[in-house]
Amino acid sequence: MAANGKTQDKSLESWIWDAACSIRGAKDAPKYKDFILPLIFTKRLCDVFDDELNRIAKEVGSRKKAFQLAKRDHKLVRFYLPLAPEDPEESVWSVIRKIADQIGEGVTTHMRAIARENPLLQGIIDRVDFNATTHGQRDIDDDRLSNLIEAISIKRLGLEDVEADIIGKSYEYLIRKFAEGGGSSAGEFYTPPEVGTIMSKVLQPQPGMEIHDPCCGSGGLLIKCEIEMEEQTKGKKKRTFAPLKLYGQEYIADTWAMANMNLIIHDMEGEIEIGDTFKNPKFRHVGKLRTFDRVVANPMWNQNWFTEADYDNDELDRFPAGAGFPGKSSADWGWVQHMHASLNADGRAAVVLDTGAASRGSGNAGTNKEKTVRQWFIDHDLIESVLYLPENLFYNTTAPGIVLFLNRAKPKTRQGKVFLVNASQVFEKGDPKNFIPDAGIQRIADTLIGWKEEEKLSRIVDHKELAKNDYNISPSRYIHTSDAETYRPIAEIVEELKVIEAEARETDKALKEILEKIGV
């Protein structure tokens, strides 16, 4: 997330990263994210609690009385923190800052005490043991923990010091910095912000809508939708706009905690469940899958651990009989099926997928499970548009990726057609990753919203042409970005070959089992 030019944002981002690096430098900071994020989150809670106590103190005469009132009635504050400094005029954070001995144990004790008083924070800030050891060695020793606490103490993060959107941006910045050093696991919790912004702009969430992310990672896509809705309502007649109702599910416990902290620090409310969405979606209604106005997601690409039995055993009507299953080698279209089933009658979705999901199986002899599912979505006129992204945006791969947009209520003028956008050249070089600049984000979003055709960028393609091309919906197949371009991107071809090889292995294994059974 690049700084947007505001000095306050930049200085806060610099401070928050310097605090993270205070443990052992920038290179090793991502290893400690599970310690750093809860501490910065707690600093924000402490400083906001201080502001709320000061507000109460103005009414009752002293902070001592304010502490007593808040302890008696927790409803006076958003989060009640059982941290009482000896001098009530001192900051609440000073209780943590002044721990001198057994710092790891002391921080852990305070975190757990805060969670006990606030059910919304249980499992979020109390899941980390700051005194934990691995093979007898402290994961973060007291000296480094003390350095981190001191670095975090430099800035105040209260209501009067920093607005929720600024601390939220800085917290997202920190998550992005961790993603840069997170290797192959980074994509499990972080989607490049420009991709999320494009998705939210195109989906155009309206006040009060219910938004769902079935594999929400750190919650960034849900937050982008709320930010976009608030942006669209700015300057309109003075009235109170209902916030979006945000719902997410995440199966990695640490990432689930990160998503909750991210929402709270952005001053947003949402419901984040924990568990495997594919096998056990938590959002249900009267025995059926709950539906939403908008669905956004960036599931892990080409998951290969779901078997045909997982699809067969589904009791939520997520996988229509006519569409079939996408096969074991890649669950990309299985996720699309889940998201389609999660949409209400007027619902729309945006999902990030591997580029191969748009083309695998097309042009090959015989049938292909992924192509069959893709054809079902085209035949039922559910695909509104497909966006082809630049290479090297994502933190766990250099592959470009696509964004698939679904619409269960396409306007009549768009029925029987799919809008394709090849934005592979709309980027700037970055270190370590490329990025889409603000002007590029707006250009792509405007093009997708308006279905504006532009040479070397976008085309409206009717279903007959898609059928003629064996249901290949990759924008790179239909839109060449330069006169010399005659070949598809190498990264896309390599990814497809990997899946084809995996399918071949599965087929060989199944054939071998059959031959063994009949004694050949």
In this prediction, residues 120-141 reach a mean pLDDT of 94
Domain that holds residue 158: 7-176
Conformational region of residue 246, where left means phi above 0, alpha means psi within -120 to 50, and beta covers everything else: beta
Q: Is the pLDDT of residue 337 over 50?
A: yes
How high is the pLDDT of residue 56?
97
Mean pLDDT value across residues 95-123: 97
pLDDT score for 460: 98
Same domain? For 189 and 267 the reply is yes
CB 340 within 8 A of CB 384: no
CATH of the domain at 379: 3.40.50.150
499 has a pLDDT exceeding 90: no
Count of domains for the chain:
2
Find out whether 496 and 332 touch, Cβ atoms under 8 Å.
Answer: no
List, for residues 393-404, the tens digit of each pLDDT value.
998 888 999 999
**Percentage with pLDDT > 90 across the chain:** 73
Burial of 132 (0-12, 13-18, 19+ CB in 10 A): middle
pLDDT band with cut points at 50, 70 and 90 for residue 512: confident
Q: Is residue 513 part of a domain?
A: no
pTM: 0.88
Tens-place pLDDT, residues 241-294: 899 999 999 999 999 999 999 999 999 999 999 999 999 999 999 989 999 999
Mean pLDDT of the 189-197 span: 92
Q: Which of 47-56, 196-205, 239-248, 251-260 has the lowest mean pLDDT?
A: 239-248
- Based on the fold, state whether residues 280 and 404 are members of the same structural domain: yes
Any domain includes 458: yes
Strand, helix or coil for residue 337: helix
Least trusted range by pLDDT, from 42-56, 124-138, 166-180, 406-420: 166-180
Q: pLDDT band for position 25 (50/70/90)? A: confident
Q: Which of 472, 427, 475 is nearest to 453 (CA)?
A: 475
Residues 145 and 251 in one domain: no
* pLDDT band (50, 70, 90) for residue 365: low
**Gyration radius of the chain's alpha carbons:** 25
DSSP labels for 110-175?
Answer: HHHHHHHH-GGGTTTTSS--TT-EETTEESS-HHHHHHHHHHHHTS--STTTS-HHHHHHHHHHHH
Q: Which of 176, 200, 225 is the last residue of a domain?
A: 176
Q: Where are the alpha helices (DSSP H) in 61-77?
A: 63-72
Specify if 411 maps to a domain.
yes
pLDDT over 70 percentage in the chain: 90
Position 444 scores a pLDDT of 98
pLDDT at residue 6 above 60? no
Write out pLDDT tens, residues 206-250: 999 999 999 999 999 999 999 999 999 887 655 568 999 999 999
Residue 486 has pLDDT above 70, yes or no: no
Q: Is residue 221 part of a domain?
A: yes
pLDDT at 482 over 70: yes
- In angstroms, the Cα distances linking 345 to 378, 407, 408 are 17, 9, 6
pLDDT value, residue 187: 61
Name the domain boundary from 176, 200, 235: 176
